Structure 1
């Protein structure tokens, strides 16, 4: 897909979103648009798969006569194969195109659409994919009065949206099978930027995601596993996969139910098999769902300075016990760090976005920082990012990088706070900025006013405070003033002025004039 084709596709998708824009808030119409895109994807994937396996019999899936003994026999065979290969099943009459065309012709489709979405989930019951499809469409509420005051009004609006979507060719048969997934991710980004903090909580800007992904994949072409304990819509996990030839398995946890549903959809839309992702919905700190598992790559953008219980009982939890301290209840930043480190494999890398305060706050956080650096030597790099690059907050942030088996004892500090271009509402990192940051991390070379390798002794001398200006000078230092030279210059000027004054007086005397005072 060319950039021009992608731009046109994105415009069409946003036009469809605008059909619902006046009816409800951004986070609400997001659920409808993305839910219908997902239904279309499942339908087209089902249709293409069924046509391929029926090809030897010279049949097309939509030609199967439903309701007849022979037709149902074919459908039973297709169903078994589809559940094994795709993890779900749709009958020919349940395909997106069939229902969209009926709606375009004026038929009442709301009841059938509700049944079809329920049937997708029901088709997985008792199978390996059941948990990945469980309640996946629960946020697509077709009975909501926000779609219209009457059933006919709701039906008309939904039929219009489905008709527009049906006209879009997502080119699922092309080699670039990520087209629909990219379109989905585009809409997620648009909703996040348009809806501020509420929608931005589950989405990390692509430029930041790219930096995190390139950091944890440095030196690797394949990953056994990647994990995000606050996975949001799953886009950060998928970004990591773009930096290597293969990721075997994806793991994640998300507290918000709606966002968790988006993440599962996002995985499937990007062609990740239900067998290769394990996403769970729960509070990561309070109820971790992947206990005892270690991951080769870990990335996260946790909610900044979130509250958590910090119960004393956690001091016996394997994730926190060795530190002897818990992150304060008012700021869970280091609780997430401790949780992630507990899941990091010895040959792995971990990159997490945190607010700048995590670098220098004292108390328990200071003690945890000291333990990580002095006792374990796990901190690999600190990268300062520009302010105002996240949706819904303008605070400056940083990336902290950790590795358990490091070949050096220094810590790389990178000040990228000036690496941005200002846009209308927020700043953003340019491709050149991303490249400079990643290159600095990979080469670990000194760069005046940008990158510095600090020894543990230097960090200890700063009281384990990691505030970046302590290690990287951001501006040219003022030249040192030579006071003796300044005094000598003043004396020379004074002497010269005395000579000039004498000549003026002599000249005035010759002319018989009174010399000026």
Structure 2
């Protein structure tokens, strides 16, 4: 049995407490309830963080209250009088029927005092909004009283443990059990597998001073990983970077902001907005340009903004407008348009994007002809919790200079089976990175870690009708040819099913217009 550290024990106890609360009030499994839970957890984190800082200053400054109070005023957060968690707990237990009103008052007061850090977070949640609970409205104050009591027993910041990791297990549990109505599969889509995200970021190699952007940041996982990976010219960790993210889903945006705060990534700018319809703009109205752009995009993005894209003032989709029900390449074109002239892009995609025809082929052609395609990496099947299909990483580079050739890597066999899904090991990540790094340095795949890799000319890609499908470029031996054919067949079946569904939706809409 694995020995649990103090940090993990606190996390387990916190999850057990929230789990017991959920079982007792299981009729409140909706998004609003989940946001209420997250808000109270955030309040406790702020309270615990400030308490830890105060204790630190008391030790250092020998209880010199003037110095301690001055330093506390310059801390990340401030708590107005009578808004600490102990006061909240006492007030709610004294006036349980007014729990919602008391929470609204305290959260509003704290947000107003911390507008730069917490603006748009706490006041966006109304603890008196009980319309969602229906016939169980009488239980709502009881739920809030119990929630404050359970969270009050947690330690979400500590001087001797990593409070970020300590709290994140709890946040992930709340996300999967409250904000997705117990649908952990839906929740999983907002978290790229950690090792997969680490691979993308290692390939992009963010450096000190860079701006990092994720147009579909979900719960913020890739931004958090990227921040941890930024290094200076001597490959030492650097805190000199800027994080930007957009997310169209309110609950995911809320969670991402809290996770980044707990990681003390206070300067991160996470916007609740649609990157196609409302891209991030600078003060002069132009698109903000980024040095590193990365994302684990939703697969086969539907209703992505086709009509708005027709008249896009930024001309982001000059290489082609993809169908309304398949917006993946629209998002990738947006990523290209928001990347600086020396910037780099890494995106995790379904393998169907590598070979689909129509407008998508024309976009791939433009990417090759504009010399920004650096590498295509085929990954194993079943890396995600919510789908068994294989995925790929494409690396785009706007500063390839005279280099024209493209690296294709078949890393589909680089994994280990881990419970219900496959997992990239550290050795797999290192193999893929070493192969790519060798290509960047030498332009070849000589002496690389992965033998199933090749360097291809743009002319060769043109001869293959601008398909990026990796097995078309890497000779396969007899032993694994059958498995590759099966994979290709499976992908085509999925594409056909999606196309059939689109036809059905079109027929249904036409019938509605005809009044049938």
Q: Which residue of 2 aligns with 1:472?
A: 474
Q: Which residue of 2 aligns with 1:37?
A: 41
Q: Which residue of 2 aligns with 1:404?
A: 398
- 1:106 deviates by 9.2
RMSD over aligned Cα atoms? 3.5
1:268 and 2:261 matched: yes
Q: Which of the residues 306, 313, 318 maps onto 2:314?
A: 318
- 1:147 deviates by 11
Inter-partner Cα distance in structure 2 for 1:269 and 1:108: 31
Q: Which residue of 1 aligns with 2:153?
A: 167
Q: Which residue of 2 aligns with 1:294?
A: 289
Cα distance change, pair 224–26 in 1 and its aligned pair in 2 (3 A): same
Residue 7 of structure 2 contacts residue 166 of structure 2 at CA under 8 Å; is this kept in 1? Answer: no
- 1:120 deviates by 1.8
Q: Report the more deviating stretch, 250-259 or 164-173.
A: 164-173
Inter-partner Cα distance in structure 2 for 1:317 and 1:259: 28
Q: Which residue of 1 aligns with 2:412?
A: 417
Q: Which runs of 4+ in 1 moved over 6 A?
A: 50-57, 104-109
Q: Which residue of 1 aligns with 2:461?
A: 459
Inter-partner Cα distance in structure 2 for 1:99 and 1:335: 47
- 1:161 deviates by 3.8
Residue 315 of structure 1 contacts residue 326 of structure 1 at CA under 8 Å; is this kept in 2? Answer: no
Q: Which of the residues 96, 101, 117 maps onto 2:85?
A: 96
The DSSP-based 3-state class of the residue aligned with 1:338 is helix
Spell out, residue by residue over 1:87-112, the C-alpha distance to the aligned partner (whole angstroms, 9 max, x if none). Answer: x5323421123333666789667142
Q: Which residue of 2 aligns with 1:427?
A: 422
Q: Report the more deviating stretch, 310-319 or 399-408.
A: 310-319
Cα distance change, pair 465–294 in 1 and its aligned pair in 2 (3 A): same
Q: Which residue of 1 aligns with 2:15?
A: 14
Cα distance change, pair 466–91 in 1 and its aligned pair in 2 (3 A): same
Q: Which runs of 5+ in 1 are unaligned?
A: 63-73, 480-517
- 1:241 deviates by 0.9
Q: TM-score, normalised by structure 1?
A: 0.76
Q: Which of the residues 76, 100, 119 maps onto 1:133?
A: 119
Inter-partner Cα distance in structure 1 for 2:307 and 2:335: 18
The DSSP-based 3-state class of the residue aligned with 1:452 is strand
Q: Report the more deviating stretch, 347-356 or 178-187.
A: 178-187
Residue 379 of structure 2 contacts residue 391 of structure 2 at CA under 8 Å; is this kept in 1? Answer: yes
1:229 and 2:220 matched: no
Inter-partner Cα distance in structure 1 for 2:476 and 2:49: 52
Inter-partner Cα distance in structure 2 for 1:427 and 1:227: 28
The DSSP-based 3-state class of the residue aligned with 2:229 is coil
Q: Which residue of 1 aligns with 2:504?
A: none
Q: Which of the residues 247, 250, 255 maps onto 2:243?
A: 250
Q: Report the more deviating stretch, 313-322 or 337-346.
A: 313-322
Residue 223 of structure 1 contacts residue 296 of structure 1 at CA under 8 Å; is this kept in 2? Answer: no
Q: Which of the residues 192, 204, 217 maps onto 1:204?
A: 192
Residue 327 of structure 1 contacts residue 334 of structure 1 at CA under 8 Å; is this kept in 2? Answer: yes
Q: Which residue of 2 aligns with 1:363?
A: 358
Inter-partner Cα distance in structure 2 for 1:140 and 1:433: 46
Q: Which residue of 2 aligns with 1:392?
A: 386
Q: Which residue of 1 aligns with 2:299?
A: 304
Residue 11 of structure 2 contacts residue 167 of structure 2 at CA under 8 Å; is this kept in 1? Answer: no
- 1:443 deviates by 2.2
Residue 92 of structure 2 contacts residue 98 of structure 2 at CA under 8 Å; is this kept in 1? Answer: yes
Inter-partner Cα distance in structure 1 for 2:144 and 2:90: 12
Q: Which of the residues 366, 369, 377 maps onto 2:371?
A: 377
Q: Which runs of 5+ in 2 are unaligned?
A: 231-236, 440-444, 482-516
Residue 243 of structure 2 contacts residue 269 of structure 2 at CA under 8 Å; is this kept in 1? Answer: yes
Cα distance change, pair 432–161 in 1 and its aligned pair in 2 (3 A): farther
